[in-house]
Chain A
């Protein structure tokens, strides 16, 4: 048994009388990866906030390397050797990779009172750190030019800067493709080899099972189960997390897709982006598109929704040839696009639920002349959809959606399109940053819609998700469709191979 590097003892915490953490005790041994799982609101972030010194615990203690540890502010915690890799990327796109690494403690030239940056030392120390995480870019590169995976690696490099004893990862893979995630896991295992204690928080239970040595399951602020991960199965974990049995994560389809084509794409090409893409989406079909980040899957969706242009090929919607696509026109055609960047393209973060939900379908509630809104109908309708999707909120008008959890945010975006009467959904990473319970609810809703004849294209990096949900999966690589697999022929290995395409060969 290895030395415990971090210990939590009987931690309690309440907000305004409501207990959010109750008697939390567990140990993070050095050189061990501990998975911390639980639904949103289970108390994971509160616990991490206590660890990082943002919040004080009401009762209980923590020990770091056997010494009692009670940080009062984040800097204290960092100094003691606790590092965090956040879900929300705390990077500054207008600065270089090296500058991002050392933003709070630049190496300085003598005399230090001048605060002049020692650029040589900055460069060499940054290079060294980037090497540690296998990130092969020039430290002078602006962060806005890095891919999401590279950014996540940069975040880790930042965490490693202070030679930490414990590194806590909070949803590190949400914006990563599978190979990028694999790369990340290699690095995390390296940390483990170095004797660092790792806390790994994720909604992706597959990853947790693959990576972690031990798991701790939280529900409503209490530990529901803990131990070596070999002793748990994914269904066990889910049951512990949600407190009820979910027979399976993916609901069964009741109706098969109809034969009628809703979208037909013929030999669509745009130089440098996609090449000769042909496929058909049928009514009531859930069509998955799998592929690596940068395989052209998101770009294809953007073209289909009129956000980007194409120079060859034809698109038919409901049998009619459409040209000069634009989002507005697509919306009129009954299409919806749930984008991968929820904050920038999906939500009006500082607006309320009603304002967000009515964005697409607004005209349907306005009179023909002058567009005067029927506010009562509108609010009723929003409340109906909100109920249907079981969105959790405090005030439907005044609460800004950025204060909602990821799952609820995604439900709002989905609700926006449903309220707008969309019948063809393009869903790009629909469950990114969404916890297990909400994820199940979203799947359920999607399948229900498909059964009612709504067609959808689901783009996801999570192959598990596509396999569970889709009637058919297209595999893309380098802007081309490499394979089209029907449900009965789903084979993970084959699809992965297709996704890697030429890359695997070289």
Chain B
């Protein structure tokens, strides 16, 4: 078959995100050959793993047309709990990690309680949690930064089969999340709740419990993200995770999640996080003027979004229902 102009543009539009990635990677690759090394790509994954994992949790929340602004603070609070329990409570590291997850689950459950059982706006509930969790964390640490024993750092630098642990954790989380979203009853019902909560309720889906679950998942993902950050830094600083909620939401939405619910995938969230980190890493590698970083990252996000919305409009046009087949 001959490739007509229409087909080419259609193909181009369908794979626009891929082209964007190729463009970003190609540009940095030409500017600095060391950018293209396997090691550097592993680096990118290691560095974005925390954001990516939290973004996966955020995707669950976004699927229900909710939002979780508290993830950055939960990352910090959990890290503060872990740091304190190891430094002052003399608990073993494994137990500290367990405390982190429990902390994340708890914060998520509180969010979920008010959203699901009290029917309150997720924005406000999680905004409150943002303040309460950060305040509690600062209280625990007395705003001091804590330097943690080496065991933590080893968690981040150890490699299994040549792959750094954070990347492995990311892989486990994304695959689990993908399976939950596509293969389980809960996952499919989640899409229904996000699309139309009233219809979901009528269809016999337990909407409150579903909502509760997504905030708990988001809290858990935040605690895992906190764990990875903690392991990488081997320190708890009072500004750990601060402002992370915006990075995380950006990653999820760049990856195709809709703020109005019902759309989004786990792999998409990871791709979004990887894109932002690739740009940051690339500029670092080509030794760009540090003042330009945010400008370039902002513009690339803008370009990605522009490309995506153009693509959607064009595809919608091309796929419009044809009533008649033209004979001429």
State the CA gap A478–B195 with chains docked (Å).
Answer: 33
State the CA gap A409–B314 with chains docked (Å).
Answer: 34
- Chain A residues near B204: list those with CB within 8 A: 74-75, 78, 103-105
Other-chain contact of B188, A75, A93, A95, A275 (Cβ < 8 Å)? A95
- Chain B residues near A179: list those with CB within 8 A: none
Closest-CB distance, B166 to chain A (whole angstroms): 27
Other-chain contact of B326, A103, A272, A294 (Cβ < 8 Å)? A272
- The answer to whether the Cβ of A213 comes within 8 Å of any Cβ in the partner chain is no
Q: Decide: A90 near B203, CB < 8 A? Known: A103-B192, A296-B323.
A: yes
A272 touches B323 (CB 8 A): yes
- For A309, the closest partner residue in chain B by CB is B317
Q: Decide: A92 near B185, CB < 8 A? Known: A271-B326, A479-B323, A479-B324.
A: no
- Chain A residues near B325: list those with CB within 8 A: 272
- The answer to whether the Cβ of B202 comes within 8 Å of any Cβ in the partner chain is yes
Top 8 nearest A-B pairs (CB, nearest first) are A104-B204, A272-B322, A479-B324, A106-B185, A90-B199, A92-B192, A115-B185, A92-B195
- The answer to whether the Cβ of B152 comes within 8 Å of any Cβ in the partner chain is no
- Chain B residues near A480: list those with CB within 8 A: 324
Closest-CB distance, A97 to chain B (whole angstroms): 13
A115 touches B199 (CB 8 A): no
- Chain A residues near B262: list those with CB within 8 A: 92, 94
- Can you report 16 residue pairs joining A to B where beta carbons are below 8 Å apart? A74-B202, A74-B204, A75-B204, A90-B203, A92-B192, A103-B205, A108-B185, A116-B183, A117-B185, A272-B320, A272-B326, A273-B322, A275-B326, A294-B321, A478-B323, A478-B324
State the CA gap A196–B186 with chains docked (Å).
Answer: 33
Q: A interface vs B, CB < 8 Å?
A: 74-75, 78, 90-95, 99, 103-106, 108, 114-117, 119, 271-275, 294-296, 299, 478-480
> Which of chain B's residues 172-191 have a Cβ closer than 8 Å to chain A?
183-186, 188-189, 191
> Which of chain B's residues 286-303 have a Cβ closer than 8 Å to chain A?
none
- For B326, the closest partner residue in chain A by CB is A271
> Which of chain B's residues 90-115 have a Cβ closer than 8 Å to chain A?
none
State the CA gap A221–B200 with chains docked (Å).
Answer: 30
B191 touches A95 (CB 8 A): yes
B188 touches A106 (CB 8 A): yes
- Chain A residues near B184: list those with CB within 8 A: 114-117
State the CA gap A271–B263 with chains docked (Å).
Answer: 32
> Which of chain B's residues 193-252 have a Cβ closer than 8 Å to chain A?
194-196, 199-200, 202-205
- Chain B residues near A108: list those with CB within 8 A: 185
Q: Decide: A103 near B322, CB < 8 A? Known: A92-B199, A119-B183.
A: no
State the CA gap A299–B324 with chains docked (Å).
Answer: 12
- For B317, the closest partner residue in chain A by CB is A309
- Chain B residues near A91: list those with CB within 8 A: 199
B324 touches A104 (CB 8 A): no
Other-chain contact of A104, B186, B205, B263, B323 (Cβ < 8 Å)? B205
- Chain A residues near B194: list those with CB within 8 A: 94
State the CA gap A90–B198 with chains docked (Å).
Answer: 9
State the CA gap A114–B187 with chains docked (Å).
Answer: 12
State the CA gap A25–B192 with chains docked (Å).
Answer: 38
State the CA gap A296–B322 with chains docked (Å).
Answer: 10
State the CA gap A273–B326 with chains docked (Å).
Answer: 9
- Chain B residues near A479: list those with CB within 8 A: 323-324
